[in-house]
Amino acid sequence: MKKNSKRKTNVKSSILVLLLIAILLIASTYAWFTSNRTVTISSIDVNVAASTGIQISVDGINWKAVISNEDIKGASATYDDAVNVIPASMAPVSTIGEVSGDRMGMYFGTVVANEDTGNYELYTSATAEDDATSGKYIVFDIFLKLDEAKTIHLTEGSDVTHKATAGTANDKGLKNAARVAFCVLGNAGLTSTVEQIQAITGGTTSYIWEPNYDVHTQAGANAASSIYGHNVALTGANQLSYYGVKAPIPKASPVLLNDHSTDYFQQITNPIKTAAGHKLLLAADEANAGTIGTTELMALSEGITKIRIYMWIEGQDVDCENTASGSDITFDLGFTIDPIVVEP
């Protein structure tokens, strides 16, 4: 009888632990959201514009001043190898910006609670970027045409913002965890054929942009403190370094959520450049009126340059936490050959 009583006590204890973990999963604020809670977005807007002196295209055939969601989604009609996906929803992923075979390594993470310790653990898997049905992030190709070599800058209106629509949630700070990467795949001459233009390949350079690094919600600030040990301001915050995922973490052997000592991660250091040479762009410095804003993106050669653009929610960002899920965002990009001068 004592053995049965002890066994029942153990079972009750196990159930209690599981219930406590379930409560923590529901109530806690931490990176990557909970394991079954994705950031559903009913409307993802993407707008990309080019100023005078630059022409932009989604297929290397039809050149415009502005491209939209419809242009991106319809590119496959004239561009057979288009990798153009704007999914119906997004989920947190992570990357260090490494490009191989024209693809940037992106890793989808799942957070689980260890039933024995109660600690949060993370495992990840590589994603398939061209699956429009289960896509977790935005990816599409653009072609920029220049008559002479120029340095490209982001325009002042480039941003990731909350999209307020009827029936949707208020701004939850999801935009604060957003990233945009520009992967330069190569260049072709102005007289190149359409086949040559669309077949541009082989580039490995990427530039990562974090537009809202200086703003945090209170929940994001709490996550920064409790998980990563950062004390951050809600506005005017300094740009934080973070640990991007660079390899799949096996489900059978997940790592502690805040343990970045393994080879699965690489630190993305701020500001300006990472150890891997990826550029982290900063907003224009309004304190230095009349000076050139730090909006420089890349130097492009004369001709037609193919760029693969990624837009995602960075799971390793302090603002990628439970309360941020479930709101709509808009990505606005503008390219110019003229640097921004910050007015007094």
Phi, psi of 152 (to 5 degrees): -95, 135
Which token pair is 129?
Answer: 């970027």
* Domain contains 159: yes
* Domain contains 15: no
* Domain contains 139: yes
Model pTM score? 0.83
* Domain contains 132: yes
Span 225-270, pLDDT tens digits: 877 788 889 988 877 888 899 999 999 999 998 888 899 998 886 5
* Domain contains 21: no
Other beta carbons less than 10 A from residue 267's beta carbon: 14
Span 35-89, pLDDT tens digits: 444 444 445 788 888 887 899 999 999 999 999 889 998 999 999 988 888 887 7
- Residues 73/77/82/84 CA torsion (nearest 10 deg): 10
Q: Mean pLDDT, to the nearest integer, of 181-193?
A: 94
* Domain contains 42: yes
Span 106-121, pLDDT tens digits: 999 888 888 888 888 8
Number of domains, the chain: 1
Other beta carbons less than 10 A from residue 6's beta carbon: 10
Kindly report the average pLDDT of the chain as a whole number: 77
* Domain contains 218: yes
* Domain contains 151: yes
**What burial letters (b/e) apply to 226-252, b meaning 16+ CB within 10 Å?**
ebbebebeeeebebbebbbbbbebeee
Domain region containing 314:
29-336
